Amino acid sequence: MTTHKLLFAPSMKEIALEEGRSVLDGAREVGVFIDSQCNGEGKCGKCKMRILEGATSPFTPEESEFIGQAERLQGYRLACMARMVGDLSVLIPEENVLSAEASKKIFSKRSAVINPAVKGYAVDLSDNGTDTQQAYFERITAYLESRHEMEGLAIDIEALQNLAPVMRQSTDGLTAYVWMDKEIVAVSPRSDERYFGLAIDVGTTTVALYLCDLEDGSVVASASTTNPQVLFGTDIMSRISYSSHHPNQGVKRMQKELIHSVNALVEQMASNKGLRASQILDVTVVGNTVMHHIFLGIAPDHLGLWPFSPSIQGSVNVKAREIGIEVCPSAYAHVLPVEAGFVGADNVAVLLSEEPYNLDEISLVVDLGTNGELVLGNRERLISCSCATGPALEGAHIACGMRATRGAIEKVRIDPETYEVDYAVVGTVGWASEHPSGELKPVGMCGSGIIDTVAQLFKTGLIGEDGAFRGNDKKTERLRKGRSGVLEFVLASKDGTATGDDIVLTQKDIRQIQLAKGALHGGCRTLMHHLGIETLPRMVIAGAFGMHIDKDNSLIMGLFPWCEPEKIAVVGNAAGHGAYLALVNKEKREEANRIARQVEHIELALEQGFQKEFVRALSIPYKKD
Amino acid sequence: MTTHKLLFAPSMKEIALEEGRSVLDGAREVGVFIDSQCNGEGKCGKCKMRILEGATSPFTPEESEFIGQAERLQGYRLACMARMVGDLSVLIPEENVLSAEASKKIFSKRSAVINPAVKGYAVDLSDNGTDTQQAYFERITAYLESRHEMEGLAIDIEALQNLAPVMRQSTDGLTAYVWMDKEIVAVSPRSDERYFGLAIDVGTTTVALYLCDLEDGSVVASASTTNPQVLFGTDIMSRISYSSHHPNQGVKRMQKELIHSVNALVEQMASNKGLRASQILDVTVVGNTVMHHIFLGIAPDHLGLWPFSPSIQGSVNVKAREIGIEVCPSAYAHVLPVEAGFVGADNVAVLLSEEPYNLDEISLVVDLGTNGELVLGNRERLISCSCATGPALEGAHIACGMRATRGAIEKVRIDPETYEVDYAVVGTVGWASEHPSGELKPVGMCGSGIIDTVAQLFKTGLIGEDGAFRGNDKKTERLRKGRSGVLEFVLASKDGTATGDDIVLTQKDIRQIQLAKGALHGGCRTLMHHLGIETLPRMVIAGAFGMHIDKDNSLIMGLFPWCEPEKIAVVGNAAGHGAYLALVNKEKREEANRIARQVEHIELALEQGFQKEFVRALSIPYKKD
């Protein structure tokens, strides 16, 4: 039987599957969780996914019940109906169930100053004093400049093309939308239309969007999706490599895929909220330096080479249409500044959100995504570095690892007497022990679950300070030799999981986590040495991953240096919040440029002390000499 | 036999032609001049033309000898080979034999100040003091801002995308091309590359291009072609009407055809001169207000309606790529300001070239194209108006009229005794009488030839002050009743013409010319009343048409008020020269905006005295009461 390669993004799991079998079959075999309530009969529509590359069997009538024309053109299919006819790459959309909750938390925390870069101004041309033979644009600017602090106003070409039709529709007034008091980006014959802005947080793995009302600053919708660039590699180094190996076209392709996803989400949010995408008049964008470059269509090749210089450090204003973002075509996208090659606009946004530069107390701000970015300091001085934590904390390269999406074990406790395991699963409430036995069917474990497990294994003595299983103690049958002869700890046995396989943490997994923690903890220590401090007065943990972690377990396993738990704040997607702040308050844009220039960047690889700190930090807990 | 409609642009002559016959056959029948040395055998390649709309017989092997792949894709064919299979519109390229000569004359007249908007700056990054970890853009701006008077430099997105590759190719230096000391529009790893600018004069009928070296201001090439918008109507009112009747798409279509022609000429000039179009880093554009709007993609519908307000009066800077001009994609196109609805950027450019605002003496500047635009004044005050001269002065709506291209009778003299006619023909040297009899085979007569004829007919008494032929006098057989019973004067009989038909001037033609002259002369008088002057101290005649006219004959027939012939300057395409000046000297752009605002515009239709002046000016010569 002919088999074809089937690749699942974003997990990048791969399987050789017989011709004619469905994508859902393949997902089940390789352990990729796809929801299917009708058991593959094309009746529930839950297994919707997107074809990234390759051909499949023809679109079926069943699918047209759940997939409209627009989605169909974008490659959407039901996994149970799409069958193998050749090599295939598919993207399984992740239901990021916690993102709404998480964003709510951080967005409600502080009230933002509302002073957007784009503002709507009523223009009343009924005034008898106005010379009606004067050109439209000059009449409008004369009105605006005499009433507001504006001078030398320009107008976007598309807005200019639209001026005469708007004048025709309006009897004596219109609304002019002005960007930065400099340029008219849109005109409308109405005076009562709401207008919006879009904050985009481009993560290596996840893209998050916040749609905001620019008049009152309220977030009217938010959404997130997998960054489809995972197809080209799960981490930034592989994206750089893809670009290098595909000169000119590589970056264009990655940019196009990203923008495509953004546009799909924008369209979805707009139609849910009953508004037009053309009412979105401003955009802000954050992301790490590689995402920043790819977003702007700049091949990031040089970011992988010494001295890791970005093409540009300061913020960039570019027309949305130049990038292909389908909002009002005259709108600008404001891309926030980066700090250095590996500390990007996302980190600047985290700082905008947390403002450690306005405090006397020294803060350590940790942003944990696919990379770990650290900033330590206060109003006097800020130093930053990037830690190569690797993807283990996001569940990648871990035997039963997965991202913190539905079905992931996110919290773990192990009874110190019986070694019995209890866990909480993303998408359900409470602990497994509070549900009827076997009701919670986990799919795998995410970073916080892994950290909990390691910490609890250490606490119960099942692993030592060196992270090695004490296999000879035979304390519990959960600790066993796995298929490949490596010791592993069973968290859930196959009769209680969604995949029909045991969920285990292996010795190899623990090593991966130790490397990640070594890099992170070592990075923190190196920054502390630079500022000459021994203990952390205050700590902020940002990033989706941080939302799930247990402070105590993290401190037990020494993920970062000791800090009083009540002085540790877990803030969620602060990068997205920073992008939002720059959207609703233009002053924040200047602040971002100032801060980005001010932060001192340290290249850990060049730091003499780092290697020693890294090795020390491999121990559980951190071993002080 | 099935016949199909065959339309010839730019003359807009039309014929019903049998299926299977060639375009060349049709041209000969309808009296459109197409050069053919091989008599339609596909061997000389002289009858190359472009299909605008409709299908024809397949491309033949003969044609591939003269038409390359690129031209073929653009619709080029040989008129002798393309046969009718359905309705067809074709564009007959005009060899504007005098344009090079004309532009040379005006460009050599004055030396321009060279201070272009785009300048190349060498950037040396070998300096040891430079922080190599700094972002590329910031390193370049730090260098430039410390050495030149620049601050807050920005960079175009495409130039930004190109930065890293340029840094890679260059060892320690590069050239940054900076627009208006504000924005880097291009970077090059070389230091010795020439860079260019393009001045575009968009006429209703003809588009003229000047390619200039931006370092020394020299014109390295110039070219002109028929504005393909003639397909949508020969005058501006019909272009407006085409736009109104085809909402949204009409203006896009006209813009696209125009830009297509510009790109074809640019490509041709660049390849002739061995340079790349991407070396063109700046563009200036002039044109009347309707051309200005269409160029910018603004539907000109409102320019046809009271109060004839343009969408914008001031100059517009727009990225060449936004308009589709295929030069360096980051280059700006600077579109000069307009004065009012019917006095456009072309008139501003004429003023930039002639500078009547720097003189104490009052000048009348007349720009004669498809429309007539007048400016009267000096450093104290400038007033302008637009005259609806109609297309008669360009030879349209005249029985044997044509534009001033090869084969047109451009000068005429009539012997007062014998009434014998002598003439000069565009593309040949000297008078017909100086050549062997019948050697000069004229095709038709252009505006200057028509004016000469009317003046000479008046001088010899063959027409009266009212313009009517004195048919009863029977002075010459050249004055006869034509086919439709209307009196006409024979300039050349059919055995001496290229068309095989007599070339005549009819009574109806004279009426057309009287109307044109009435509008023009009446407009001049109205402006003179406004300034309170009775005679013209000085006069400037600009425009391609003006190049051919005979001052004495024009004064005889009263085309404009009396002025000492030696105080009349005929300057050619001053609009193109103004576009050139704004290209090579950015100060001229400010000057243009100042002048455009300063010129007072008069709407002739609303002027009480105009109607009276118009009627008076119908007489030959002008009848003072």
Give the pLDDT of residue A98.
36
Instruction: Name the minimum distance, in Å, from the CA of B329 to any CA of chain A.
Output: 12
* CA-to-CA separations, A19 to A6, A57, A581, B29, in angstroms, rounded: 11, 10, 50, 68
pLDDT above 60 for B130: no
Which residues of chain A from 488 to 517 reach within 8 Å of chain B, CB to CB? none
- Predicted TM-score (pTM) of the model is 0.86
Give the pLDDT of residue B92.
82
Q: Which alpha helices (H) appear in A274-368, and where do they start and end?
A: 289-295, 320-323, 345-354
Instruction: Name the minimum distance, in Å, from the CA of A174 to any CA of chain B.
Output: 15
A296: tokens are 């702007």
Instruction: Give pLDDT tens digits for A369-413.
Output: 777 899 999 999 999 998 888 778 888 788 888 877 778 899 999
Name the residue facing A312 among B160, B299, B310 (closest C-beta).
B160
Taking one residue from A and the other from B, the number of pairs with CB-CB distance under 8 angstroms is 112
Give the pLDDT of residue A107.
66
Give the pLDDT of residue B623.
59
Residue of B411, B361, B350 lying closest to B567 (CA atoms): B361
Residue of B99, B108, B572, B593 lying closest to B334 (CA atoms): B593
> Is B236 an interface residue toward A (CB < 8 Å)?
no
> Is A433 an interface residue toward B (CB < 8 Å)?
no
- Phi then psi dihedrals of residue A338, to 5 deg: -105, 165
Contact B309 A134 (CB under 8 A): yes
Give the three-state DSSP class for A243: helix
> Is B297 an interface residue toward A (CB < 8 Å)?
yes
Residues in B closer than 8 angstroms to A312, CB to CB, are 135-138, 155, 160, 163
Instruction: Give pLDDT tens digits for B47-87.
Output: 888 888 889 999 999 998 888 887 788 788 999 999 999 99
Instruction: Give pLDDT tens digits for A150-162.
Output: 999 999 999 999 9
Q: Strand order of the sheet with strand A539-542? A: A568-572, A539-542, A363-368, A372-377, A382-387, A600-601
Give the pLDDT of residue A605.
80
Residues in A closer than 8 angstroms to B138, CB to CB, are 312-314
Give the pLDDT of residue B98.
37
Instruction: Give pLDDT tens digits for A96-146.
Output: 433 444 455 556 656 788 999 999 999 998 865 556 678 999 999 999 999
Give the pLDDT of residue B99.
43
Distance CA B2, CA A587 (A): 72
Distance CA B595, CA B580 (A): 17
> Is A167 an interface residue toward B (CB < 8 Å)?
yes
The single-letter DSSP state of residue B490 is: E
Residues in A closer than 8 angstroms to B340, CB to CB, are 133
Contact B298 A164 (CB under 8 A): yes
Nearest Cα residue in chain B from A338: B135
* Longest CA–CA separation in chain B, Å: 96
Contact B312 A137 (CB under 8 A): yes
Name the residue facing A298 among B164, B310, B601 (closest C-beta).
B164
Contact A133 B309 (CB under 8 A): yes
Residues in B closer than 8 angstroms to A322, CB to CB, are 157
Which residues of chain B from 587 to 606 reach within 8 Å of chain A, CB to CB? 601, 603
Instruction: Name the minimum distance, in Å, from the CA of B296 to any CA of chain A.
Output: 8
Is ipTM over 0.95?
no
Q: Which has the higher per-residue pLDDT, B489 or B621? A: B489
Residue A409 zone, left/alpha/beta (φ > 0; ψ -120 to 50; rest): beta
A443 and A499 Cβ atoms separated by less than 8 Å? yes
Q: Residue B268 is inside which H or E element, if any?
A: helix B249-273
Question: Is residue B397 very low, low, confident or very high in pLDDT (cuts 50, 70, 90)?
Answer: confident
B389 and B372 Cβ atoms separated by less than 8 Å? yes
Nearest Cα residue in chain A from B307: A133
Instruction: Name the minimum distance, in Å, from the CA of A203 to any CA of chain B.
Output: 21
> Is A125 an interface residue toward B (CB < 8 Å)?
no
Give the pLDDT of residue B458.
93
Distance CA A130, CA A135 (A): 11
Give the pLDDT of residue A472.
76
A518: tokens are 């070594």
Give the pLDDT of residue B107.
66
The amino acid present at A345, given as its one-letter code, is: A
Instruction: Name the minimum distance, in Å, from the CA of A128 to any CA of chain B.
Output: 15
Name the residue facing A311 among B154, B160, B314 (closest C-beta).
B160
Residues in B closer than 8 angstroms to A317, CB to CB, are 154
Give the pLDDT of residue B327.
97
Nearest Cα residue in chain B from A597: B134
Name the residue facing A136 among B135, B309, B316 (closest C-beta).
B309
> Is B138 an interface residue toward A (CB < 8 Å)?
yes
Nearest Cα residue in chain A from B317: A157
> Is A431 an interface residue toward B (CB < 8 Å)?
no
Give the pLDDT of residue B301.
95
Omega of the bond leading into B329 within 30 degrees of 0 (cis)? no
Give the pLDDT of residue A100.
45
Give the pLDDT of residue A368.
84
Distance CA B586, CA B597 (A): 18
Give the pLDDT of residue A252.
96
Give the pLDDT of residue A573.
86
Comparing B114-123, B532-541, B544-553, B595-604, the range with the smallest average pLDDT is: B544-553
Comparing A301-310, A591-600, B252-261, B344-353, the range with the smallest average pLDDT is: A301-310
Q: Residue A611 is inside which H or E element, if any?
A: helix A610-616
Of the segments A225-234, A614-623, B433-442, which one has the largest average pLDDT value? Answer: B433-442
- Phi then psi dihedrals of residue B412, to 5 deg: -140, 140
B338 and B348 Cβ atoms separated by less than 8 Å? yes
Contact B157 A312 (CB under 8 A): no
pLDDT above 50 for B101: no
B456 and B512 Cβ atoms separated by less than 8 Å? no
Q: Which has the higher per-residue pLDDT, B208 or A404? A: B208
Give the pLDDT of residue A105.
54
Instruction: Name the minimum distance, in Å, from the CA of B46 to any CA of chain A.
Output: 41
Name the residue facing B311 among A163, A308, A341 (closest C-beta).
A163
pLDDT above 50 for B96: no
Q: Tell which of A131, A132, A136 to mutate to test the B interface (max B CBs under 10 Å).
A: A136
Residue of B442, B450, B448 lying closest to B506 (CA atoms): B450
Give the pLDDT of residue A287.
95
Q: Which has the higher per-residue pLDDT, B428 or B582? A: B582
pLDDT above 80 for B110: no
Mean model confidence pLDDT for chain B = 89
Residues in B closer than 8 angstroms to A137, CB to CB, are 311-314
Contact A133 B296 (CB under 8 A): no
Beta strand A154-155 pairing with A183-188: parallel
- Taking the CA atoms of B366, B372, B375 and B376 in sequence, report the sign of the dihedral they define: positive
Of the segments A193-202, A551-560, A609-618, which one has the largest average pLDDT value? Answer: A193-202
- Taking the CA atoms of A284, A287, A291 and A292 in sequence, report the sign of the dihedral they define: positive
Nearest Cα residue in chain B from A306: B133
Give the pLDDT of residue A99.
43
> Is A168 an interface residue toward B (CB < 8 Å)?
yes
A372 and A63 Cβ atoms separated by less than 8 Å? no
Name the residue facing B137 among A160, A312, A340 (closest C-beta).
A312
Residues in A closer than 8 angstroms to B310, CB to CB, are 135-136
Residues in B closer than 8 angstroms to A294, CB to CB, are none
- Average pLDDT (B75-101) is 77
- Average pLDDT (B180-184) is 97
Contact B134 A299 (CB under 8 A): no
Instruction: Name the minimum distance, in Å, from the CA of B386 to any CA of chain A.
Output: 15
Contact A308 B132 (CB under 8 A): no
> Is A100 an interface residue toward B (CB < 8 Å)?
no
Contact B132 A309 (CB under 8 A): yes
pLDDT above 70 for A219: yes
> Is A16 an interface residue toward B (CB < 8 Å)?
no
Which residues of chain B from 305 to 334 reach within 8 Å of chain A, CB to CB? 307-314, 316-318, 322
Comparing A376-380, A479-483, B460-464, the range with the smallest average pLDDT is: A479-483
Percent of chain B's residues with pLDDT above 90: 58
Give the length of chain A. 625
Residues in A closer than 8 angstroms to B159, CB to CB, are none
Percent of chain B's residues with pLDDT above 70: 96
